[in-house]
Structure 1
Amino acid sequence: MSATEPATRKDDNDSGTAAKDPGKRRRALLIVLLIFVALGLGWFLLWLFVFSTRESTDNAYVGGNQVAISAQVPGTVVAILADDTQRVEAGQVLVKLDSTDADVRLRQASSALAQAVRQVRQQTDSATGADAAVAARRIDLKKAQADLKRRLPLIAEQAEAPETVQHLRDGVEQAQAALDAAVAQANAAHASIEGTEVAQNPAVEQARANFRAAWVAAQRNAIFAPVAGYVAQRSVQLGNSVQPGQQLMTVVPLHDLWIDANFKESQLRHIRIGQPAKIVADVYGSGVEYHGKVIGLGAGTGSVFSLLPAQNATGNWIKVVQRVPVRIAIDNKDLDQHPLRIGLSTETTVNITDDKGPVLAQAAQQPTAETNVYEQMASKADAEADKIIRDNLSSRDAH
């Protein structure tokens, strides 16, 4: 073997390796290309079937009613019966005011109502007496007329003196005048009671209204909770002198809550009323999911209703993406299992697959919120007034 053989074999090996390298590179590039194509296809399918069917935002917070508890009459606080974080029921007494002055006015109104009933009863009896007087005057008139009629034939026969007949004529006229006066008195007596029973007489109704107002004012010294919920922001203290309208505390019902989700204006294109939504609250994490539905979209962006609205008609202007609040009602069953508090942060996702629903809410068909606590107070006042009227009616008037 010559000395040049090893060098020749080495050159052949280098040439084979160089020939194989382009093939490996092509295969590697093809694999990389296929990976990117697969990733792109996966991303497209994910967007098509997932991301394009929903809109999400983490600018979403729990909202609810905040019922301000305030005084309706002036007074001094003598008792506080509920404190922050405590649950209260509708109609429960929260604060009591000193009722001394109100009790005095209530007794005065009660006495005035009783006196009005008795006065109307007296007027009714007076009218009955006036009717009896009219009947008596009619009898007197008929008697005078009969006497005159019986004596007139005697004048023709000159059996009666003319003076006697004149006296009889005067007696008829006097009887007629007395009857007219009795009728006028009877009409006057009936004017104040005619057409109504004692309980419906205008004077009694006015006294009844005054009593009702005094009774309600006395009851308002006890400040009630109009709805069930939890007490927050208690500011009232014992001995405070409060005025009507002064806020004393807040009651927050933790039922019928909603989410105010502030979506970007570019996300509102397919959001419609009635679309289902899923909510995850930061307080519980992704392990707890709430269900809800869109019930309305705000009438304007947040900047429009701010204290100092943006002035965009200026020389220096920078476009800022606006957000519109979308209200989403939460299923109460989910709230029963995992209670929320107003103001908590959430991440809200709306399913926009069905975008054929309305964008603007229709007119409300039922009250947003209502309470019958004050109606019950008014009905109790009427019951007390009826009792006073019955107690001051005679057995004949009561029937």
Structure 2
Amino acid sequence: MTPASQPNPPSATQAEPPAPRPPRGRRIVAGFLVAVCLAAAAGYWVQYRLHKVSTENAYVEGNVVQVTSQVGGVVTAILADNTDMVESGKTLIELNGVDAQLALSAAQAQLARTVRQVRGQFAAAGQDRANVELRSVDLARAQEDLERRTALAASGAISGEELIHARQAVRTAKASLAMASEQLKRNHALVERTSVDSHPDVQAAAAQVRNASIALSRTRIPAPTGGVVTKRSVQVGQRVSAGVPLMSVVPLHHLWVTANLKESQLRDVRLGQAVTLTTDLYGDGVVFHGRVVGQDAGTGSAFALLPAQNATGNWIKVVQRVPVRIALAPAEVAAHPLQIGLSMKVTIDTSVRDGKRLVAADAESENYRTTVFADELARADEVVRRIVEANL
């Protein structure tokens, strides 16, 4: 076959036939689906994003209660270690109490001696009153004798010398009565308007007993609150001084979350708003619930150890973060325990904005109190009472 007889190849510029267009119904359905997706996305954004503030810059916080000694001494026993759960008031550390026991014994002996001395003062005051009465009787007898002798001297029945002796006896009786009265005043001033147990000398000696008794009780260092022991730094045989931290106790039943929000996220954050939280420890399957209870007084950089100094020529704006405190539901924390420092993902529902942005001046503040030292004085008073009653 000659080339002329061969069929011509298709031209490169020849347009291919157009692809068939989908039916009009399919285009309508596709457009409707796109519109539904856009509406769903807009609804999701309005419902779940418009009134939500979220951050992962949030951490669990709590009280780290330091355990310190109120007196110095040598450690003889450590009764709790890191990771131990202790109850409030449990003895954690014992110090050598020999010196405190000797001081208490000396103070007790001094109190007993003082009680007996005060009893002697009361007895002396009673003796002085009896002596005044006796001197009063002597004076009355001497005056009667003088009157009788004066009448007899007028008739010459007695000599003048005897009358002089009667007058001298009256003056002697008066002087004795005056001396007894002054001695009564002196001794009565030591005991008037008081009793043995309320006498100043007894009170001073009792104060020494209380001091010694409390010092001895403080050689046993209790847990100020219940929780988990951590940061133990004390060793047996170590001599510790008053006020030096020996270990810490963390009450894991009272925790909160601090969320560091950007300043642009705080516009709609109010007190009392509901918060949902998750943590990497339990995953998204465990959701904690809380509420906003306050915002810090400044940004994190304002209270840093080295605050930023922006009065320079090369200033770059950095978005600041403000710590927001979030209270957790105690029942949820008890069911799923948390620890200090765990990271949390926080989402605040800002749809309700009728609360205050910052804490009001008349708002209730968080109070912390321990009662493990409340009965120290009561125990010392009981020691004093027993000693006083034994020596009355």
- CA distance 1:25–1:313, change in 2 (3 Å): farther
Give the TM-score of the pair, scaled to structure 2: 0.90
Q: C-alpha separation between the residues in 1 aligned to 2:69 and 2:19?
A: 96
Indicate how the Cα distance of structure 1 residues 52 and 164 shifts in structure 2: closer, same or farther if over 3 A, else same.
farther
1:1-399 pair list within 5 angstroms: 37-361=35-359, 362-363=361-362, 365=364, 368-393=367-392
- AA aligned opposite 1:157: S
SS of alignment partner, residue 285 of structure 2: coil
SS in 2 for 1:192: helix
Shift of 1:276: 2.0
| Alignment-mate amino acid for residue 77 of structure 2 | A
Q: Is the 8 A contact 1:261 1:327 kept in 2?
A: yes
Alpha carbons of 1:24 and 1:310: their partners in 2 closer, same or farther (altered >3 Å)? farther
Secondary structure of the 2:306 match is coil
In the alignment, what sits opposite 2:11?
none
Aligned counterparts of 1:367 and 1:323: Cα–Cα separation in 2: 23
Identity fraction in percent: 44
Q: Measure how far apart 1:367 and its partner are.
A: 6.1
CA displacement, residues 330-363 of structure 1 (integer Å, 9 cap, x when unaligned): 1111111111111111111222222111233245
- Give secondary structure in 1 for the equivalent of 2:347: strand
CA contact (8 A) 1:256 1:329 kept: no
In structure 2, relative to structure 1, the CA distance for the partners of 1:36 and 1:313 (3 Å cut) is farther
Query: How far apart are residue 322 of structure 1 and its match?
Result: 0.8
Q: Aligned AA for 1:81?
A: L
Partner Cα distance (2:31, 2:320) in 1: 40
Instruction: Work out the CA distance in 1 between the residues paired with 2:143 and 2:385.
Output: 51
SS at match of 1:177: helix
Q: Residues 145 and 358 (structure 1 numbering): CA distance in 2 closer, same or farther, change over 3 Å?
A: farther
Question: Structure 1 residues 351-360 or 58-67, which shifts more?
Answer: 351-360
Task: Evaluate the alpha carbon distance shift between residue 18 and residue 88 of structure 1 in structure 2; reply closer, same or farther with a 3 A threshold.
Answer: closer
Report the residue type matching 1:202 in the other structure. P
Which structure 2 residue ranges, 5 or more long, are not aligned?
1-14
Does the Cα contact within 8 Å between 1:62 and 1:344 map onto a contact in 2? Answer: yes
Quick one: distance in 1 between partners of 2:155 and 2:55? Answer: 123
How has the CA–CA distance of structure 1 residues 250 and 36 changed in structure 2, closer, same or farther, with 3 Å as cutoff?
A: same
SS of the residue corresponding to residue 326 of structure 2 reads strand
Q: Which structure has greater helix proportion?
A: 1
Q: Please list the CA deviations of residues 111-156 of structure 1 after superposition, one character each: whole Å capped at 9, or x if unmatched.
A: 1111111111111111111111111111111111222222222233
**What letter is aligned with 1:341?**
Q
TM-score using structure 1 length: 0.88
Which is further off, 364-373 or 96-105? 364-373
Report the Cα distance in structure 1 between the residues aligned to 2:178 and 2:228, rounded to whole angstroms. 73
The alpha-carbon distance between structure 1 residues 121 and 102, as it changes in their structure 2 partners (threshold 3 A), is: same
Give 1:10's aligned residue: none
Counterpart AA for 1:149: E
* Superposed displacement of residue 39, structure 1: 4.0
CA contact (8 A) 1:90 1:228 kept: yes
Alpha-carbon distance in 2 for matches of 1:370, 1:19: 82
Secondary structure in structure 1 of the residue aligned to 2:286? coil
Give, in whole Å, the separation in 2 of the partners of 1:203 and 1:235: 44
Q: Which amino acid aligns with 1:61?
A: Y
Instruction: Rate the CA distance shift 1:123–1:315 in 2: closer, same or farther, 3 A.
Output: same
Larger displacement relative to structure 2 (168-177 or 212-221): 168-177
SS at match of 2:148: helix
Give the CA deviation at 1:24. 6.8
